[in-house]
Structure 1
Amino acid sequence: MSPRNDALRAARLRVGWRTMEQAAAQLQAHGQRFLDDPHYTVSARTWRRWEGGTPGWPPEETATVLHDALGRWPEDLGFTAPAGWVRPEAEAEEDVKRRTFVSVTAAALMPGPVAAQHVDPALIEYFQQQLEGHYRADMFLGPHDLIGTVSAQYQLIDKLVRSARGETRRGLLRVGAAYAALVGWLYQDAGDLGAAGFWRGVTQEIAVRSRDPHLIGYSLVNQAQVRTDLGDGHGVIDLCEAALDDADRLFPKVRIMAMQQQAHGASLTGDREAVDRLIDTAGGLLPRVDDDLPWGNACRRTPGYLEVQRATCYGRLGLGREADRLWSQVLAAVPSTARRDRGVYLARHATAAAVSRDPDHAVEIAREAATIAVETRSVRMVRELGALERAMRPWHDAPVGRDLAEVLGPVNEGS
């Protein structure tokens, strides 16, 4: 089979252009209106070249027409961008991201001393209760609506830490580390791994300052989560082994978190035996989780927590049938209120179905996942659906492939 530009092909199918000839005619008509130029032309031969293995790069005016018609710039449609190309909106987008990051990051970098004030120990419980509310809101809202709120509360905690003394100060440091970890997670879910890494570093610093071994272990697992998203299996394993160096001192919850994350590292290195051993060992600790710490409670809060991790690892290892069966069991227990988690699991389940050579089932599952992805704007979910698109490539030319393009159209338009 000759190479082809699947990204452009998928984009034209999403807008209903079923053939390359129709696409050329529709783009030409769109360009004539958009540019107010009746002489603007796009031939079917040109479009066929674009969908081939070496599409080249369109003229600048055609690049803007493609973007207006398909909602994507050419570099996102499989074209090879020439040196120095900067799409017209890119600089503005980067400026907005930079200003947002600087604004939120200022919460972790408040300079100099602050005016001394009395810090009541009751504030520790107040922030802990607020934290639990943020965890619940994250399940409903996704990351973007919470980053500013949670980071602002971290800034207040940091300000109080500078005045507090004794056990009150240590208690605020512990809760502050949990807030920093949540900001890092929100950034990770939003797809900004640079900002996530920064806030994971803040978490680790505050954890070390608190002298709390459980929180230090938790912060190392947080770092490992970022390495997982970066595909660095050995880095994940290194961090989780460091967290477990003195495992006997750690609460069972922290050990479970480190073991399941290490299993993800093992899946990235292709070690299924280690995946099962680590998750089975972690499962033996679940009945012993009885601490009252406000952070890291996914193993208690998430139905089938460890089987979720196993299914994700199996999917990463290419074990489609095993992952498909596990996701069916897991999703039966996930409440509809856990929107973001359910969407991620559905996307992974759909990919497992595609790997198992059941494309119709994959598309059926993807419908609900796509709806949730549009609602929550979770970049993590969009990436999972991107993995589904890749797994479905063998059916691009079949009706089921066109159905998937239609299902994912709203997701890709908003990403």
Structure 2
Amino acid sequence: MSRPAGNTRLKAARLAAGYSSQQALADAITTAALTLGIRGLAVGVRQVRRWESATPPWPQPDVHRVLAHLLGQSMEDLGFTPPWGGTRSQAGTALNTAPRVPLPGARQASVPALQTTTTQPGTIGRDFGAITRSHRQLYWSVAPAVLHPAVLEHTRLGCALLPETANPARQTLAAALAESYLLAGRIEFFDLRQPERASDTLLRSLQAAGEADDPLLGAAILAHMAFIPGWTGERDAAIERMTAARTYARRGEASAEFWAWLDAVEAECETLCGDPHAALRLIRHAEDALSKGADHASPDWLDWFSPVRLSAFKGNTQLKAGHLPQARQTLHEVLDALPPESAKQSTVVLGDLAAVEASDGRPEEACRYAIQALDQLAITWYATGMDRVREVRRTLAPWQNEQCVRNLDNRLYDWGTTVSALQR
């Protein structure tokens, strides 16, 4: 069987521009970014290889600008398919290479004129959004591997509808599409532990939010994107994305709850990058914001955060800071206050409680909480919760010959749990 030819359009344009190798183009992009006033952009040969594959991902906005500058063609003419389903320019017409989302230091680009005849009714945005809202509610109970394909199919529908829809329905549709991509990215990162895929999905979410001109949704997406480098210890990249998220939030009517959530995200990034004391300061700032309140209501889609979830962030941070009695008390209060539909969050809290007991030299209590987390994971899978349990098991190595730890191993490595974890 012959292999797919890949993105021959980009390869041909690269060779025609004098870049004989993928590495040469990667180096040229990095150099040209500086001349265009774009700081911190670096592209490797691996990324160029992905662009020249049979299914090239849509480039980031800054890369979009640099590629068009270097190769003199639109993204569609270079073999990329826009996530909103736009059509290719006709041969001989002027190319519109303006990015669809704001570039740092630049004014927001306007939405390009529609290139197809408007065929969708004015209710299409609201109708599409109703399904998006249903998926949002299903997230808390439906298995991620089951829900994820349905959400992706919904985003494909949105991309097909967007070029056929006129404002104001177009903006409503784009906002719902951005939310659907955000949900898909959350599942990929938190539930399925696929950070690279989540990064691409969240970028598409950001592009759709730009189409909707929804700064709060853009802020939420950027904060989720900060988790990805944060969880690998890349503090500078995480904080840069949080700075962008806060900038977007200031453009909208952010609620006190929204600002507190941004603090909580940055606190988790600081904790993961080894500075739990900075994280505790951010948690205190978030608590102050919630206590003062604000004039603005939170958007409906902000259903992943609440005061009790802020306390869950706090308990984990106290654990990492070595404040074990405080962490134990905070996490117990969280576990008692979590609503029944927060099964995924409860696995994380149970894992953190197990870590507190392990750090305090109490292996039997640690194993008891870890097994409770596994019982819940058997009902509602959550990769983040499983990560917590595995971290606890590693800290229990000094007691690995104790019966309680062997009982945990029997539960952690039974047939169902092992196969389930490896499948995902």
Question: Which residue in 2 is equivalent to 1:398?
Answer: 402
- Go from structure 1 to structure 2 and tell me whether the alpha carbon gap of 1:234 and 1:314 turns closer, same or farther (over 3 Å shift): farther
CA distance in 2, matches of 1:370, 1:100: 37
Cα offsets for 1:209-259 (capped at 9, x unmatched): 322221221121020122233332332222112222365434124423321
Normalized per residue, the structure richer in helix is 1
Q: How does 1:116-135 map to 2 (within 5 A)?
A: 116-135=117-136
Partner of 1:62: none
Superposition pairs of residues 16-415 of structure 1, within 5 angstroms:
108=83, 110=85, 112=87, 116-188=117-189, 189-245=191-247, 248-250=250-252, 251-252=254-255, 253-286=257-290, 287-288=293-294, 290-291=296-297, 293-300=299-306, 304-410=308-414, 411-415=417-421
Partner SS state of residue 162, structure 1: helix
Q: CA deviation at 1:285?
A: 3.1
In 2, the alpha carbon distance for the partners of 1:267 and 1:212 equals 30
Instruction: Label 1:111 to 1:206 Cα distance change in 2 as closer, same or farther (>3 A).
Output: closer
Q: How many residues align?
A: 314
- In structure 2, the residue matched to 1:65 is none
Asked if 1 retains the 8 angstrom alpha-carbon contact of 2:148 and 2:184, the reply is: yes
Q: How far off its partner does 1:108 sit?
A: 4.1
State whether residues 354 and 369 of structure 2, in contact with CA within 8 Å, keep that contact through their aligned partners in structure 1: yes
Q: Compared with structure 1, are the counterparts of its residues 115 and 306 closer, same or farther at alpha carbon in structure 2 (3 Å cutoff)?
A: same
Amino acid in the other structure paired with 1:291: A
| Aligned partner of residue 144 in structure 1, secondary structure | helix
* TM-score normalised according to structure 2 size: 0.67
- 8 Å Cα contact 1:347-1:385 kept in structure 2: yes
Distance in 2, matches of 1:283 and 1:254, equals 12
- Structure 2 counterpart SS, 1:146: helix
**What is the distance in 2 between the residues matched to 1:348 and 1:213?**
34
Q: Residues 312 and 126 from structure 1, CA distance in 2 versus in 1: closer, same or farther, beyond 3 angstroms? A: farther
Contact 1:170 1:210 in 2 (8 A): yes
In percent, how many aligned pairs have the same letter?
19
Task: For residue 324 of structure 1, report the CA deviation from its aligned partner.
Answer: 2.1
Whether the aligned pair in 1 keeps the contact of 2:84 and 2:159 (CA below 8 Å) is: no
Task: Give the letter for the 2:214 counterpart.
Answer: D
Change (3 A) 1:122 1:187: same
Give structure 1 stretches of 5+ with no counterpart. 1-97
**For residue 184 of structure 1, what is the amino acid of its counterpart?**
G
Shift of 1:110: 4.8
Of stretches 311-320 and 337-346 in structure 1, the one that deviates more from structure 2 is 311-320
CA distance, structure 1, for counterparts of residue 265 and residue 324 of structure 2: 21
Question: Per-residue deviation at 1:101?
Answer: 12
* Contact persistence 2:258–2:298 (CA under 8 A): no
The TM-score with structure 1 as length reference comes to 0.68
Q: Structure 2 regions of 5+ residues with no counterpart?
A: 1-52, 58-80, 89-114
Aligned residues of 1:336 and 1:342 also touching (Cα < 8 A): no
CA gap 1:112/1:405 in 2 versus in 1, 3 angstroms: same
Note if contact 2:215-2:248 (Cα within 8 Å) is conserved in structure 1.
no
SS in 1 for 2:87: coil
Contact 2:171 2:212 in 1 (8 A): yes
CA gap of 1:289–1:133, structure 2 versus 1, over 3 A, is: farther
CA distance in 2, matches of 1:198, 1:266: 23
Letter in 1 for 2:203: G
The CA deviation at 1:323 is: 2.2
Q: Alpha carbons of 1:346 and 1:108: their partners in 2 closer, same or farther (altered >3 Å)?
A: farther
Question: Matched residues in 2 for 1:249 and 1:122: separation?
Answer: 27
Aligned residue in 2 for 1:73: none
> Bigger relative contact order, structure 1 or 2, given CA contacts below 8 A and separation 6+?
1
CA distance in 1 between counterparts of 2:261 and 2:277 reads 18
Structure 1's 352 and 311: CA in aligned 2 closer, same or farther, altered over 3 A?
same
Distance in 1 between the 2:400 and 2:330 partners? 27
Q: Structure 1 CA distance, aligned partners of 2:295 and 2:301? A: 13
Q: 1:309 offset after TM fit, Å?
A: 1.2
Q: Distance in 1 between matches of 2:182 and 2:364?
A: 39
Q: Is the 8 A contact 1:240 1:259 kept in 2?
A: no
- Report the AA paired with residue 383 of structure 1: D
Aligned mates of 2:298, 2:249 — CA distance in 1 = 19
C-alpha distance in 2 between matches for 1:148 and 1:124 = 21
Structure 2 residue identity aligned to 1:414: S
Amino acid at match of 2:392: L
Retained in 1: the 8 A contact 2:84–2:163?
A: no
| 1:289–1:271 CA distance, 2 compared to 1 (3 A) | farther
- 2:195 maps to amino acid: L
How far apart in 1 are the matches of 2:313 and 2:287? 11
